Amino acid sequence: MKVLLVFGTRPEAIKLAPVIAELRQHGEIGCKLCVTGQQREMLDQVLDLFEIVPDYDLNLMQDNQSLNGLTARILEKLEPILAVEQPDWLLVQGDTTTAMAASLAAFYQRTPLAHIEAGLRTRNKFQPFPEEINRRIADLLADIYFAPTPTAKKNLLAENLPAQKIFVSGNTGIDALRLIQKKAFVWQDSPLQCVPQNARVILVTAHRRENFGDGIENLCQALGEIVACRRDVFIVYPVHLNPNVRLPVQRQLGKIPNILLTEPLDYAALVHLIERAEIILTDSGGLQEEAPSWGKPVLVVRAVTERPEAVEAGTVKIIGTDARRIVAETLRLLNDRAEYQRMARAVNPYGDGHASERIVNYLLGKPVTEFAG
């Protein structure tokens, strides 16, 4: 069996790393890797961490790149690779422009497509943008759907996709998390060495396109008010490289005490920061999946989420991007111990660390039981 994996961003690389490791445990599978370089520096961090060497590196990232241009470049560059490799399966992960464009390229070449993390939905095509449409396109074109949860499977079934092609694998991001937990980490040698030992740490990440402009501005205003109200709080904000994020964050927060703005952290440092933090404020999808493993309350600065399972479990709360609400919800968790404990439950409905094993065994036609959630 010949398998080609195509990915281009840090989240894709994190979630595909355990799949790649599992594929390489099976001599009957020929595994090739193609990276688009949609996120260059952030992708390379993960490739180095997991010792992944791609067979093809398209290196397509451009400064302030447009979605149209990136999509066109991916389609153009993948066509000859697919023609040469002729894989039995092309694997994509998630909802990036790379995943969407690679799915379309596979369709044009009549290459069978497997979509890992299929079935996530908000049913609002602009929330998140462009991810909601990216994943819908990938699912429209896929031949096998690896749904991370039973809820994701229900979403696919509701769209009349064939039940026999949908398999609940669990989320491979939890597999990656467990791999990193086993690696040694020296806090003092990391960019986090200046985080005070006795501080109540809040981890913040925000980079979604739909939050560009007012969303990021409101979040920054709220963060300034939070540290002004609570001197015992220390905020760590790894700032995305996109200038639509970086410029307003540096302008509003760059000189405020008790707020540490860092470059994007490598995945190992981020995992250990999640473990150290008391509260997570984020618009990221990955952190909504990872933080519940440690029982960390997550406040999602978005209008909707395609990951409702942890919301239903009570460990994640959607609060939007209104500055007053961000301040109020964060201070509630800091001040009300009962409310904090209500959310701080180590409940993770997204995976058990064996998703990659299930995916590979399914591709090989071996008997395998679905993840129950």
Residues catalogued as catalytic: 95, 117, 131, 207, 209, 240
Check: CB of residue 32 under 8 Å from CB of residue 85. yes
Q: Per-residue b/e over 30-56, b at no fewer than 16 CB within 10 Å?
A: ebbbbbbbbbbebbbbbbebbebebeb
Query: Could you give the CA distance from residue 154 to residue 166 in angstroms, rounded to a whole number?
Result: 10
Tokens representing 360 are: 């590979």
Tokens representing 112 are: 């069978």
Check: CB of residue 222 under 8 Å from CB of residue 257. no
Query: Could you give the CA distance from residue 39 to residue 235 in angstroms, rounded to a whole number?
Result: 25
Query: Could you give the CA distance from residue 9 to residue 38 in angstroms, rounded to a whole number?
Result: 6
Check: CB of residue 121 under 8 Å from CB of residue 155. yes
